[in-house]
Structure 1
């Protein structure tokens, strides 16, 4: 198994966008360990940087230390401040991913402002690593605010919608 530099760069980028702190790939002639900075490393593990001009990784052991995942700057507007209505409940993102209001671009949104929702009803999709995850409401009530635009990246715990129970 060979891993060229662009594949390695894509792997590092993908890993930095997850909550995985360490990943080890083993091939017949190499072992590659990717570890985010701050993760506990074995005392005997060497840290070897892979030069940018190298086209394939075939070293017996290569370890790349990555900085903690910092989200890339995006055009996402800041989350609005909490509403004055303190009895509103928030539906938050359970993961990092991309927010979608409908099951497909040409289909209607799962919910709109003013819609009544029930517990267990699908309210949106969060795409993470090419997997579409339907997010079900954990509360019943009326959708008062939708805080994220369609197709925008979201963070873990980010408020997506506000619901009046």
Structure 2
């Protein structure tokens, strides 16, 4: 019997999810004494092509750690809180392409918008860098920014909600 130690960074997990999403693999399970990772796609509540990943660690595991890309390990992150209630009248500003999300026009400059700011239709609210091109993302409606859902410099996917606007 052979033993295989599997270490995943967050980036490794993201890459694994991308690969599964782009292939015909419908379900993948990785299991060890320390954790179990289940990835399933298609036919879910999120719609065709949606991918769900679940990871479980025994609560009694004394050294549950998250292994980082730099080789270090840190305590496993706390479980994420349940999603906040989203008002149905809010409008999502979504990513029109895959790329990198930036809140400001250049490093060290102020963000285009912050939570609580009022925006007008057509106003630039962020930038998405794709293939070394900077693309201005504009608000489609006037209103107040109520949520910013992505961190500055984070990789984003097509159709991913970036911000939420309470239209006025």
Q: TM-score, normalization: structure 2?
A: 0.50
- Structure 2 CA distance for aligned equivalents of residues 37 and 150 of structure 1: 29
| Shift in alpha-carbon separation, 1:92–1:81, aligned structure 2, 3 A | farther
Q: Deviations over 1:87-141 (max 9, x none)?
A: 1110000000000000011100000000000001000000000000010111110
More relative contact order, 1 or 2 (CA 8 Å, 6+ apart): 1
- Structure 2 CA distance for aligned equivalents of residues 82 and 88 of structure 1: 13
In the TM superposition, residue 84 of structure 1 has moved relative to its aligned partner by 3.5
- Structure 1 CA distance for aligned equivalents of residues 86 and 124 of structure 2: 26
Q: Which residue of 2 aligns with 1:118?
A: 120
- Structure 1 CA distance for aligned equivalents of residues 132 and 123 of structure 2: 22
- Structure 2 CA distance for aligned equivalents of residues 158 and 131 of structure 1: 19
Name the structure where strand makes up a greater proportion of residues.
2
Q: Deviations over 1:42-86 (max 9, x none)?
A: xxxxxxxxxxxxxxxxxxxxxxxxxxxxxxxxx9xx9x8463422
**Cα RMSD for the two superposed structures:** 2.6
- Structure 1 CA distance for aligned equivalents of residues 96 and 83 of structure 2: 20
> Alignment partner of 1:123: what SS?
strand
- Structure 1 residue runs of 5 or longer lacking an equivalent are 1-16, 18-35, 39-74
**Mapped pair 1:130 → 2:93:** no
- Structure 2 CA distance for aligned equivalents of residues 94 and 83 of structure 1: 24
Q: TM-score, normalization: structure 1?
A: 0.51
Q: Which residue of 2 aligns with 1:59?
A: none
Structure 1 stretches of 4+ with a deviation exceeding 4 A read none
Larger Cα-atom Rg: 1
The count of corresponding residues between Structure 1 and Structure 2 is 93
- Structure 2 CA distance for aligned equivalents of residues 153 and 122 of structure 1: 19
- Structure 2 residue runs of 5 or longer lacking an equivalent are 1-17, 25-68, 70-79
Match runs of 1:1-150 below 5 Å: 81=83, 83-150=85-152
